[in-house]
Structure 1
Amino acid sequence: MLAVLGVNWIGDAVLSLPTLQAIRSLFPEKNITIIAPKQTEDVYKCSPVVNEVLSIQSQPKRNYKKANSISMCFPLSFRSAFTLWKGGWPNRIGYGAEGRSFLLTRAIDYERWKSKKLHQSTYYKELAESVFGTLPDLDPVLSVSQEKQDLARDFLRKHHMETLFLVGINPGAYYGAAKMWPPEYFQDLVRRILKDFPDSGIVLFSGEKDRWVTREIALGFPQDRLVSTDGTLSLSDSIALLSMCRYVVTNDSGMMHLGGALGLSGAAIFGPTDPVATGPMGGRTRVFRFPVRCSPCLLRYCPIDHRCMRSLTPEAIWPTIREDLDNLRRNV
């Protein structure tokens, strides 16, 4: 039995999936249960290799107390290790950091992994390899149920967009405004897509926190070719709706990683963050980045002029995105 305490951020949850998939590929009979924070439980529920998703307040079932059961702590915080310890989860394995090693049954050297400066997905993989040995390198995969697909189609049908070539746009970023391409740039890009591709439609994605930006972008566009989730959909419904799109343009965000895990082509716009560390997986997402001396700064808010994002204009990236869309439409 394997229990895993899941991570808090949507993008990180997606990046942890290849490790779970790799474990499943080598141990097809192993029960994999995720103890998930509320904000990411829908990501893990969409993984075809996860048997069960429990709330973070759950106590271990009797069969998890067996000597061969393993509990892995994916988050790095002290609180996460304390949660497993307090909950009575057995054989707790995690990185030794934040003064939490005494709460773990086995603590793995975090500084050793950190010093390698690898992609974030390897953080989870190396932790699991300390238990299971060498694991294969895989890309994340999400699966959307037929019920959720039908709900997404109903949503599009309601807005008269079910027959359009759909492009998803995710202009927000929960991490902070520094990761956000300017709203007027997204608006310019939407205008170009709708003008050059008359059979296209735009789906604007947002949560409650960043729906102000999708409302700003949506102004002035025809309602039969653009729809916004407006922060009203659950994460699972947003994933299903995203799966209806053929292409996605996004900041470095959870939606970027969700698109990759759904097998979508797309464009990811990076500014203050490092694509080497948190770039999209799957090989179908182009990364756009304007090199400036202060990037990657990893700040939530830019203290100067946001040059890493403002220097990357719609004019600069449109020819490549247009070519991508042309190629996808030929293969419809």
Structure 2
Amino acid sequence: MKTKILIIGPSWVGDMVMSQSLYITLRELNPNCLIDVLAPAWCRPVLERMPEVNEALEMPFGHGEFNLSGRWKLGKSLKSNDYTHAFVLPRSAKSAFIPFFAGVPNRTGWKGEMRYGLLNDIRADRTVFQYMVERYVGLAYPKEVMMDKTEFRTIKHPSLRVDEDNQTDCLKRFNISDTPIVGICPGAEFGPAKRWPEAHYTKVAETLIREGNQVLLFGGPKDNDVAQLIKGALPEELKERCFNLAGETSLVDAVDLLAACHTVFSNDSGLMHVAAAVGANIVAIYGSSSPKYTPPLSENVQMVNTDIACRPCFKRECPLNHLKCLTELSVEHVIKAYRDLPQLGH
């Protein structure tokens, strides 16, 4: 009987990218398996760039929406797909209903909200693994050998396919030349406690442009104002080499444009993980979060943070109202990290 796997995917861009390491592992363990991923509609462009994924299925419910009857109908509609295994990556009870209603015989996930019965292969304590990607990949193995088989340094990193034709079209659309390109991702959907100050990013952008680079500012519509502040604060003669793309590209276009950058400076955000998965060098800037939990999965990374006593707090907003974990992380520190990237040959 062919192994057919249903993944209940995460709802954040970065988590979805990191989950590819699980799909790679599942295919290594069973090369002929089929993997379908049920996830929000916005995930489809990312999932379609993962060669391990057979089909991206749309999760029709909003984040946090319970809708038990809707989940029952969706589960019943998937029953005819004859899935043999399901892996439920979110920890909520509602995320486990769909494979249960679909009659998937083997349903694996970490212990969460009242999921006994909904899952029949429950892993008790996710904190046995330090990194989120380990918690995903560990589910691929039987619980008896999970700890022995899952090791951070041997996990295969996400690798998103790049569409070079679309990349060329995007560069032409925004009048970006073929001189070296650096990306900056100044936003963070999680909250302000992850966002390095825009004035600091402006100084980084100025330094990079004066060294002969073009700078692309990435993000969603909510990041457009911050990106415009960065560009607007540049000396007038440098502005034509800085491109505010925040809110101007689809996610799939951002994937291909990030792949055109030799280096990407980013807060701890979904786009940071996308940039790592398309092979860019990464300077990862951490405020309230920690590289000891969700580092960019690449060999070509420099991670920077302050060492003040209150971080990491993992809060969306600074509980002490000072954001020193970000404001006291100097431009000089970040530029030094950039120059220390081995791929740049400085």
User: Is TM-score (shorter-chain normalized) higher than 0.5?
Assistant: yes
Residues 187, 195 of structure 2: 8 Å contact kept: yes
Q: Deviations over 1:237-290 (max 9, x none)?
A: 111111111110000111111111112112001111111111111221110011
* 1:319 match: 336
Given the alignment of the two structures, is residue 328 of structure 1 paired with residue 344 of structure 2, yes or no? yes
Q: TM-score of the superposition, structure 2-length normalised?
A: 0.85
- Counterpart amino acid of residue 62 in structure 1: S
Q: Secondary structure at the match of 1:82?
A: helix
User: Structure 2: how far apart are the matches of 1:89 and 1:209?
Assistant: 39
Question: Structure 2 vs 1, CA of residues 234 and 192 (structure 1 numbering), >3 Å: closer, same or farther?
Answer: same
Residues 216, 242 of structure 2: 8 Å contact kept: yes
Q: Secondary structure at the match of 1:203?
A: strand
User: Structure 1: how far apart are the matches of 2:336 and 2:187?
Assistant: 23
User: Structure 1: how far apart are the matches of 2:80 and 2:89?
Assistant: 22
Deviation, structure 1 residue 90: 4.3
Deviation, structure 1 residue 210: 2.2
Given the alignment of the two structures, is residue 274 of structure 1 paired with residue 277 of structure 2, yes or no? no
- Root-mean-square deviation (Å): 2.2
Q: Deviations over 1:148-184 (max 9, x none)?
A: x323322222333231200010000000000000010
User: Structure 1: how far apart are the matches of 2:105 and 2:215?
Assistant: 48
Matches within 5 A, 1:284-299: 284-299=300-315
User: Structure 1: how far apart are the matches of 2:80 and 2:296?
Assistant: 38
Q: Deviations over 1:206-244 (max 9, x none)?
A: 112222211111115445411122213221111111111
* 1:55 match: 58
* 1:119 match: 131
Given the alignment of the two structures, is residue 107 of structure 1 paired with residue 122 of structure 2, yes or no? yes
* 1:151 match: 166
Q: TM-score of the superposition, structure 1-length normalised?
A: 0.89
Given the alignment of the two structures, is residue 79 of structure 1 paired with residue 94 of structure 2, yes or no? yes
* 2:140 match: 128
Given the alignment of the two structures, is residue 309 of structure 1 paired with residue 312 of structure 2, yes or no? no
Q: Secondary structure at the match of 2:222?
A: coil
* 2:32 match: 29
User: Structure 1: how far apart are the matches of 2:175 and 2:223?
Assistant: 25
Residues 274, 296 of structure 1: 8 Å contact kept: yes
* 1:181 match: 196
User: Structure 1: how far apart are the matches of 2:173 and 2:323?
Assistant: 38
Q: How many residues align?
A: 318
Task: Determine which of 276, 300, 303 is the counterpart of 2:316.
Answer: 300
- Which sections of structure 2, spanning at least 5 residues, go unmatched? 61-73
User: Structure 2: how far apart are the matches of 1:5 and 1:51?
Assistant: 14
Residues 106, 121 of structure 2: 8 Å contact kept: yes
Task: Determine which of 10, 32, 35 is the counterpart of 1:7.
Answer: 10
Which range moved further: 10-19 or 122-131? 122-131
Question: Structure 2 vs 1, CA of residues 89 and 235 (structure 1 numbering), >3 Å: closer, same or farther?
Answer: farther
Residues 170, 253 of structure 2: 8 Å contact kept: no
Question: Structure 2 vs 1, CA of residues 30 and 187 (structure 1 numbering), >3 Å: closer, same or farther?
Answer: same
Matches within 5 A, 1:220-235: 220-221=233-234, 222-235=238-251
Residues 8, 39 of structure 2: 8 Å contact kept: yes
Q: Deviations over 1:82-130 (max 9, x none)?
A: 2333455443222221112222233221x2x21x351110111122213
Task: Determine which of 8, 20, 24 is the counterpart of 2:23.
Answer: 20
User: Structure 2: how far apart are the matches of 1:286 and 1:320?
Assistant: 6
Q: Percent identity?
A: 30
* 2:157 match: 139
